[in-house]
Amino acid sequence: MLLRGVGVSAGTVIGPVVRMTSPAPLPAPRAVTDPAAEVASARHGVAELAADLAARAEHLSGEARDILESLAMIAEDPLLAEDIERRIVGGTDAPHALTEAFDAQADLLRADGGYLAERAADLDDLRDRAVAIVLGRPIPGIPDPGHPFVLVAADLAPADTANLNPDQVLAIVTERGGPTSHTAILARGLGIPAVVAVAGVTAVGDGSVVAVDGAAGTVALGVDPAPAGSVPRARAQANLADLGPCRTQDGHPVSLYLNIGSVKDVRSGAQGVGLLRTEFLFLGRKETPSVAEQRAAYLELFNAFPGTRVVIRTLDAGADKPLPFLALPAEENPALGVRGLRTARLRPEVLDDQLAAIASAAAAASCEVWTMAPMVATPNEAAEFAAQARAHGLEHVGAMIEIPAAALRAARLLEHLDFLSIGTNDLGQYTMAADRQDGRLPDLLDPWQPALLELIALAAEAGGAAGKPVGVCGEAAADPRLAPVLVGLGVTSLSMAAAAVSAVHAALSARTLTQCRDLAAKARDAVDPAAAREAVAEMSRS
């Protein structure tokens, strides 16, 4: 049997399914007939929880280890144990006593506000784990079966994805999720094959062996296990230094940069970085990173690309990239709410500190640092951001084009900026009014949509007229068939995951700039993405 979804990270693997577990729902309360047994059961739950945390901490170091050790201490807090027992003696069964006691602690922290309030979510997590142990259900969270596996989940948060171990997680398959969701982007960066929007996949049992094809977007059930040690796997192994600078066949230069979000994405020999997603460095963080900590993190990445250009983007928090330390209020429509640059309206000091950290790291760096803001909508926002960044001494200041309004007014934005970078993931989402996390809408989110190409052309033409660079750093840049079209539309650089560089390099080297322009004209003129693809394929054949 073959399940179909949307392939978002190429590669084929065969492996056993392990499902990500959701917190167990609480059964109805029971009458307590044997309080001593009930207390023993609750104590066992808490002790197992603490032992599990301590055991996992042993394999870690640094901050991750500190966090797990401090959670183990919270679980073993004698006051918490007393509260649980008091509730059981008062007639509450063990799962409900645990729940109420953990919730009471979390409420106290939330009432304190600030940093302590941010720790309340940790207690919610501990509560769910302890209750699962007492109920004899699987512990919720990313599974750790001790062998390589295909991770199956209803959905996966970017923070969970960023922390996956690519040596253990052979592939990711989710029931929800869209082609340009951040989970998909992170999976590509980690070189983990991934398929999203696979209806019914969470019903596949743990241990069933499946074959995942991340390019075709399929999951085959009931396959024979792969012989040990022979799991085929596409990993980001591009030998970038061998490729050299990219030019079209007639010598027109097109810079090919990397999209990175952590040291795991660093590759030697790259031409530079076109998008450093700084929010990926701090996903899930509950405390605001200090200027010193940010400076150190940025400088480490800057110095991994000596002599090149590194484009760093200020925090793009909100929507599917929550940064708990920003403490943003919940929203009805997060993708249309306070995200990206807009978070500076609520927390201006966070942007200011970040710019200070970038400027300080840039001054010490061995590369040229360019700084841009995400989700800029108006020329005024561009002007304000540019003034603030320049006040910190930053020299190359730009903005992402992710909102149709910004593409339409790109020339006005460029009056204040040195460069633009087109984020086709969001520009596609907002142009087509189609949620990028919704796997049911891949046709609307298709980067070949002529309407999206028109907006890219507008921004690129504005750059051409102003003599300023306009790149693409959305996932569209990684498509080797689309790359010549983007260059033909006037884009001056393309930025992508390392795995995509060699195919894009080859596609551009095989065409002249005039051919790229002809392809772009055909694609722009097409009635829909399929016609655009076909027109480009046909011209490429002739």
* Residue 426 makes contact with Mg ion by CB under 5 A: yes
Residues annotated within a binding site: 277, 313, 402, 425-426, 436
- Within 8 A by CB and 6+ apart from 393, the residues are 359, 363
CA neighbours within 13 Å on the CB side: how many for 195?
A: 30
Consecutive H or E run containing 63: helix 62-75
Q: Which stretch in 126-134, 407-415, 418-426, 516-524 sits in contact with ligand PEP by CB under 6 A?
A: 418-426
Q: Does residue 423 interact with Mg ion by CB under 5 A?
A: yes
For the CB of residue 146, give the shortest distance to ligand PEP in the complex, in Å. Answer: 33
> Roughly how many angstroms between the first and final C-alpha of the chain, as a whole number?
39
CB of residue 429 vs ligand PEP: minimum separation in angstroms? 8
Count of residues making up the chain? 542
246 is catalytic: no
Per CB under 5 A, does 402 bind Mg ion?
Answer: yes
Counting contacts by CB under 5 A, is residue 438 touching Mg ion? Answer: no
Is residue 277 at the binding interface for ligand PEP, with CB under 6 A as the rule? yes
Q: Which stretch binds ligand PEP (CB under 6 A): 202-210, 214-222, 421-429, 504-512?
A: 421-429
What is d(CA 483, CA 504) in angstroms, rounded to the nearest whole number? 6
Q: Is 426 in the site for ligand PEP (CB under 6 A)?
A: yes
Q: Tell me whether residue 143 or residue 178 sits nearer to ligand PEP (CB atom).
A: 178
Binding region for Mg(2+): 402, 426
Q: Binding to ligand PEP by residue 424, rule CB under 6 A?
A: yes
Alpha-carbon distances, residue 389 vs 272, 397, 399, 536 (angstroms): 21, 7, 11, 41
Choose among ligand PEP, Mg ion, none what residue 474 binds, the Cβ cut-off being 5 to 8 Å by kind: ligand PEP
219 touches 201 (CB < 8 A): yes
Residue 427, SS3 per DSSP: helix
User: Can you say whether the dihedral through the CA atoms of 122, 124, 125, 131 is positive or negative?
Assistant: positive
User: Which residue out of 246, 396, 416, 473 is catalytically annotated?
Assistant: 473
List the interface residues with ligand PEP, window 126-155 (CB under 6 A): none
Question: Would you say 386 and 350 are in contact if contact means Cβ atoms under 8 Å apart?
Answer: no
- What single string gives the DSSP state of each residue in 339-362? -GGGHHHH-HHHHHHHHHHHHHHH
Does 398 interact with ligand PEP (rule: CB under 6 A)?
Answer: no
Nearby residues of 394 by Cβ (< 8 Å), 6 or more positions away: 355, 358, 359, 362, 369, 371
Which of 38, 316, 438, 446 contacts ligand PEP by CB under 6 A? 316
Q: Which stretch binds ligand PEP (CB under 6 A): 25-33, 324-332, 349-357, 417-425?
A: 417-425
Residues that bind Mg ion (CB under 5 A): 402, 423, 426
Contact positions toward ligand PEP, by CB under 6 A? 185, 275, 277, 316, 402, 423-426, 473-474
- Which residues are designated catalytic? 182, 473
